[in-house]
Chain A
Amino acid sequence: MTISADHTAPHSTSTEAAENALTEAVKKFGITVEDYMLPARHQIQMVDPDGRLIPESEQGTQPGHEYPVPGDDELLAAYERLVVGRRVNDQNSALVRQGRMAVYPSSHGQEACQVAAALCLSDADWMFPTYRDAVAVMTRGVDPVQVMTIFRGDWHGGYDPLQCKVGIQCTPLTTQLLHAVGVAHAAKLRGEDTVVLAMCGDGATSEGDFHEALNFAAVFHLPVIFFVQNNKYAISVPLAHQSVAPSLAHKAVGYGMAGERVDGNDVVALLAVLDRAVKLAREGSGPLLVEANTYRMQAHTNADDDTRYRESAEVAEWRAKDPVTRMRTYLTDRGLLDDDGEVRIREKAEAVATQLRDGLSEDVAVDPQELFRHVFSAPTPQLKEQSAMLADELARDAAASSSDQEAAK
């Protein structure tokens, strides 16, 4: 099987190595490279919206696209994170309504994607999230209040990306996918087995950097998983206005990488697909594209009015596919979750909500001099001058207000 016989670079050993590694990976599945790259004919779904495990023959799998059901411990851990994630979303939305936060782009309804994106990674791996992926970042282990700093308004980011191995939640769409590619490239050059998961939404797949990132990752054969949460809307614009591809996962084949689509409200299927994607990427079979078919249950942010562009019937239809209740039913029916377990998990979720309320209700003092401190590794003479100007302005304000107080006495 040759996939690039007509455009192999004459001197590029890296391209040959890439092709061989991919071909080797595909051999294991006993299918052609094209069949490996194309997503399965149907989305992968393991647990249906009613919480029933679907028989293997109906899970959407076909040769090379079979996925084992993850272990019970992993599923229970995932359920706990789902409950915490839902509570985080609803707590944050409440904090916005109370005026404690400027804005919160909620992932309510997408928690299965959020949880699976974090749980599939190892500690040394990296994640590059968007502004809507706060729950994924928290699930990765980053302090919830640090995650929310970006929306609290005292700085543009609250955690140390190097320490957490999580990029700062990115606002300009898909620009962070290229950073993911760079992190993976650097790791590969040093011989490290880091995997990088790069997140974006359906609307973002229209951006130029989406194309450039997928192409770079494929050409350099890098262990990057592009995880697209297709939540059907880019603010108000529906998916049909972004793409007429058979699915977003089908875009993979154009770059020479494998694509798969999965029920984004089924955390069991998500974990199964992402776990295998991470394993393949770590073993050197190159990048993969995973599209999760999900739904943004709430408006884009509190500033948006979703009744202007979608029907409530559609929202209701998706409410019936809720990822949290689906998993609760599945685990309860399997005898893995009982009332005590549920209570324990809810207590954990409540503890995180309390942490968020306390952390975000706090009036954090801002230091105006911080403006100048991190522009460069050391301030330039011009920044020192401006810093002194502001210090002087503040000192004069303080002196004026204290003399006003004296006069009032």
Chain B
Amino acid sequence: MSPTITTSSEANGNVSAATARAAASAAASAEAAGPQPVTMAKALNTALADAMHADSSVLVFGEDVGMLGGVFRITDGLTATFGEQRCFDTPLAESGIVGMAVGMAINGMRPVIEMQFDAFAYPAFEQIVSHVAKMHNRTKGAVKLPMVIRIPYGGGIGGVEHHCDSSESYYAHTAGLKVYTPATVADGYRMLREAIDSDDPVVFMEPKKMYWTKDSVDLGELRRLHTEGTTAGRTSEGRAAVARPGTDATLIAYGPSVPTALAAAEAAALEGRSLEVIDVRTIVPFDDDTVCASVRKTGRAVVIAEAHGFASVSSEIVARVQERCFHYLAAPIRRVTGFDVPYPAPKLEKYYLPGVDRILDAVDDLQWEN
């Protein structure tokens, strides 16, 4: 039996000595120094590898995550590096994957599991809602479930049915789950490391259309900052980011809608309108302070999300901001979201997805004339 697998040092008490955080430098040696063009996929893959180096209780499993490296290659090379005991394929059964992860987390591991596509996670819904979300509460805090459920989500890739859902609202609505969604390559690394370190279960929503987005990122620096940031208690959780500063109106977005909002802000700037873009980053917990500070400053807001608007994260954001910023608002808060229709076939998705023009139209409607 592998002597390299030990109990998680942070969760559920029974501590074993050998966590090998120093080994993270092994991954660093292969990288070029300084900022390099890095894809979101590479950042996530590096985060997984670094977390596995840092803590031998971190395990990765799911469908096709082993030899193949995942259908999006996010787990590429992990089985080769860490062996079949630490990164492995399971039988094709999502409830089984999540349920087994619950048991592993109860018994000292930090499982990071992959649901292959958003809509393929639905068979696991009962395990997620009835156990992942409730175990800590049910046991009055005795049991912690330090597990991460990674879900590639959203459309814009011309995917067939069941491959393009924005399912974040189901999880955000469930008390006891944290919901993270990165919108930049650097956040992909940072937030996945933090999700794995968290003693709470995290549903980690990965915008699949951004997997091949490149940013100039220094992974070595991010790794160093993660180690220091964790010890200093500086985390992304509950901290939205000002993705682009502005003064006239606030665009509130998360995950795949952030680049769309930034493009809209760029276009608006050409017309002389200064839009601030807020990247929510963690839907649960939600950063009311950063979002509301921006809206109080600009007095106008548009919330942008790919998911259907009805009874969604976007409706929650509108409600929260309205409750807190009513007297600062010059106009009702608008939303640009997917229509309340099942996610459409590839040739129709351009009509469904929030785009720059639809966002600018909503901004134009924010009662600018005196």
Contacts and interface: CB of A to CB of B under 8 A. Distances in A.
Contacts of B5: 189-191
Interface in A203-238: 208-209, 211-213, 215-216, 219
A216 B104 contact: no
Given A175-B127, A188-B1, A182 B105 contact: yes
A187 B85 CA distance: 12
Interface stretch (A69-77, A102-110, A317-325, A368-376): A368-376
B3 interface: yes
Nearest to A376: B200
Contacts of A185: 100, 103-104
A112 to B, nearest CB: 27
Interface size class of B (residues with CB under 8 A): 35 or more
Contacts of B136: 374-377
Given A181-B99, A182-B103, A380-B285, A161 B93 contact: no
B139 to A, nearest CB: 5
Contacts of B143: 160-162
A162 B96 contact: no
A98 interface: no
A179 interface: yes
Interface in A357-409: 370, 373-377, 380-382
Contacts of A184: 103
Interface in B293-313: none
A43 B95 CA distance: 32
Contacts of B131: 172, 175, 179
A182 B139 contact: no
A133 to B, nearest CB: 16
Contacts of B134: 156
Contacts of A211: 93
A2 interface: no
A157 interface: yes
Interface string B122-148: 010011001100111111111110000
A309 interface: no
Contact of A12 (B13, B84, B238, B288): B84
Interface residues of A, number: 48
B99 A179 contact: yes
Interface in A115-170: 126, 155-157, 160-163, 167-168
A271 interface: no
A180 interface: yes
B142 A182 contact: no
A339 B151 CA distance: 64
Contact of B103 (A157, A183, A208, A380): A183
Contacts of A191: 1-3, 5
B176 interface: yes
A183 B107 CA distance: 5
B285 A381 contact: yes
Interface in B73-109: 84-85, 88, 90-91, 93, 95-96, 98-109
A382 B319 CA distance: 14
A186 interface: yes
A243 to B, nearest CB: 20
A219 B84 CA distance: 14
A178 B139 contact: no
Contacts of B12: 162
B67 interface: yes
A373 to B, nearest CB: 7
A216 B96 CA distance: 7
A219 B178 contact: no
B142 A179 contact: no
A14 interface: yes
Interface in B340-360: none
B126 A178 contact: no
Contacts, number: 161
A161 B139 contact: yes
A212 B84 contact: no
Nearest to A385: B288
B175 interface: yes
B315 interface: no
Nearest to B127: A175
Interface in B44-73: 59, 67
B40 interface: no
Contacts of B6: 190
B13 A181 contact: no
A179 B102 contact: yes
Nearest to B142: A160
A13 interface: yes
B199 interface: yes
Interface in A47-82: none
A191 B67 CA distance: 24
Nearest to A182: B103
Nearest to A149: B140
A175 B126 contact: yes
Contacts of A241: none
Contacts of B101: 182
B1 A189 contact: yes
B84 A14 contact: yes
A308 interface: no
Given A179-B102, A179-B103, A209-B99, A155 B140 contact: yes
A212 B140 CA distance: 28
B91 A182 contact: no
Interface of B: 1-3, 5-7, 12-14, 16, 59, 67, 84-85, 88, 90-91, 93, 95-96, 98-109, 111, 123, 126-127, 130-131, 134-144, 175-176, 178, 198-200, 238, 284-286, 288-289
Interface of A: 11-14, 126, 155-157, 160-163, 167-168, 172, 175, 177-191, 208-209, 211-213, 215-216, 219, 370, 373-377, 380-382
Given A175-B130, A182-B104, 19 more contacts: A157-B139, A160-B143, A168-B138, A168-B139, A172-B131, A175-B131, A178-B102, A178-B127, A181-B99, A182-B99, A182-B102, A182-B105, A182-B107, A186-B103, A186-B109, A208-B123, A209-B126, A375-B175, A377-B199
19 contacts: A12-B84, A162-B106, A177-B99, A179-B131, A182-B101, A186-B104, A189-B85, A189-B109, A191-B2, A208-B95, A212-B91, A212-B96, A373-B141, A374-B140, A375-B175, A376-B178, A380-B238, A381-B289, A382-B285
